[in-house]
Amino acid sequence: MASSYTGNTTDLVRLDDVRTAPRVYAITPSDLADALRLGWEDFKAVPSHAIMLCLIYPAIGIVLARTVLGYSILPLLFPLAAGFALLGPFAAIGLYELSRRRETGEDASAWHALDVTRSPSFGAMLALGLALLVLFLTWIATAQAIYVSTFGNAPASEIPSFLSQVLTTSQGWQLIFVGCGTGLMFALVALGVSAVSFPLMLDRHASVMDAVTTSLRVVARNPATMAIWGVIVAALLVLGSLPFFLGLAVVIPLLGHATWRLYRMVVERNPNPPILPERSTTRRHAADFPVSLFKGRRET
């Protein structure tokens, strides 16, 4: 006699979730080099699109740098530059879409980067992006507290004197070690929750919980390799920030495209990829407004 299942529906759903969880693969540092190479190829293939998407980030960086100098809170300039690593995964969501379209042979243009807003998981992306923003603001507040506890409330008014204070005094070296150590903790948290979360949400329309769980599984499966990836990301972002943040116009799209390629290497492909609805091509006339807002309208 065939055995019958006596469990409840919830158990079936949980078993199904386990079966459909994406498999994660082991990767090596050479795979990181391949991801960067493929990301560079994506950037060269659509350079105008990437630059258009990323011009705003160097502009924001310049404004932040000017604000820091203007308000004599120079010690926050480096934490602001390093903090781009926390926000970068969310800032590059449009770049993931461009890499996805190029990978599948679809047309790729600046407007196609906005297709990410039509994804069913776009709300989840915004939620995780907000969480990263909170992490970024917490890091800035922590960096300020570390500086005040080390040097007090005296403002640093000039760059040469500030650098001399940091690099030639025991308090300065204490600030460097404590600040970098604390920043490393923030970076590890950001890397764990967002290493592949946004590409996964774009590709599989995953929820925040599923995306973060998979990202943590990727890091747990490849701790050394993902640590190297985190160092590469941080180093490139700092280098891109040095010339008044202008280098981010190249660094951010490169890392965005490379992150998508890395996601493809470390997470199994979806056998049934979801398809976004096509944009409506029906011509709209100004005279139809506001009747065109109602779905039941008959064409005459």
Does a structural domain hold residue 291?
A: no
Joined together, the tokens standing for residue 128 give: 């995780």
Residue 132 lies in a domain: yes
Residues 42 and 229: their CA atoms lie apart, in Å, by 19
Q: Is 73 helix (H, G, I), strand (E, B) or coil?
A: strand
Beta-bridge partner residues of 24: 267
Question: Which distant-in-sequence residues (6+ apart) come within 8 Å of 288 by Cβ?
Answer: none
Q: What is the pLDDT of residue 43?
A: 87
The residue range of the domain holding 119 is 25-269
Is 165 contained in some domain? Answer: yes
Residues 6 or more apart whose CB falls under 8 angstroms from that of 103 comprise 260, 264
Q: What is the pLDDT of residue 275?
A: 56
Tell me if 159 is assigned to some domain: yes
Cis peptide before 47 (omega within 30 of 0): no
- Tell me the H-state helices in the chain: 9-20, 29-45, 47-54, 56-70, 77-91, 93-103, 110-113, 122-151, 159-167, 170-194, 197-204, 208-221, 223-241, 248-266
Q: Which long-range contacts (CB under 8 A, 24 or more apart) does 70-76 make?
A: 72/155, 72/156, 72/157, 73/144, 73/155, 73/156, 74/155, 74/156, 74/157, 74/159, 74/162, 75/143, 75/144, 75/147, 75/151, 75/156, 75/162, 76/140, 76/143, 76/144, 76/147
Domain-embedded: residue 82: yes
Q: How far apart are CA 43 and CA 27, in angstroms?
A: 23
Euclidean distance between CA atoms 257 and 45, whole angstroms: 11
Please give the pLDDT value at position 287: 47
The angle formed by the CA atoms of residues 106, 58 and 184, to the nearest 5 degrees, is: 95
The secondary structure of residue 196, as a DSSP letter, is: S
- Dihedral angle sign, alpha carbons of residues 195, 201, 206, 209: positive
User: Residues with Cβ < 8 Å from 22, sequence gap 6 or more?
Assistant: 200, 204, 214, 267, 268, 270
Domain count for the chain: 1
pLDDT of amino acid 276: 52
Instruction: Say if CB 242 and CB 58 are below 8 A apart.
Output: no
DSSP lists the bridge partners of residue 156 as: 73
3-state secondary structure string across 249-287? HHHHHHHHHHHHHHHHHHECCCCCCCCCCCCCCCCCCHH
Asked if residue 275 is part of any domain, the answer here is no
Within-domain flag for 15: no
Query: Among residues 162, 186, 185, which one has the least CA distance to residue 175?
Result: 162
Per-residue pLDDT of the chain (300 residues; tens, 9 = 90+): 444 434 443 443 333 343 467 899 999 999 999 999 999 998 888 775 555 555 656 566 555 655 555 555 677 777 877 777 888 888 888 888 888 888 887 776 666 667 788 888 889 999 999 999 999 999 989 998 998 888 887 766 677 777 888 888 888 888 889 988 998 899 999 999 999 999 999 998 889 999 999 999 999 999 999 999 999 988 888 787 776 667 777 888 889 899 999 999 999 987 766 555 555 444 444 444 444 434 444 443
| Cβ-based burial of 172 (10 A; exposed 0-12, middle 13-18, buried ≥19) | middle
* Residue 280 within any structural domain of the chain: no
Sign of the four-CA dihedral 104, 39, 241, 188? positive
Distance between CA atoms of residues 74 and 162, nearest Å: 8
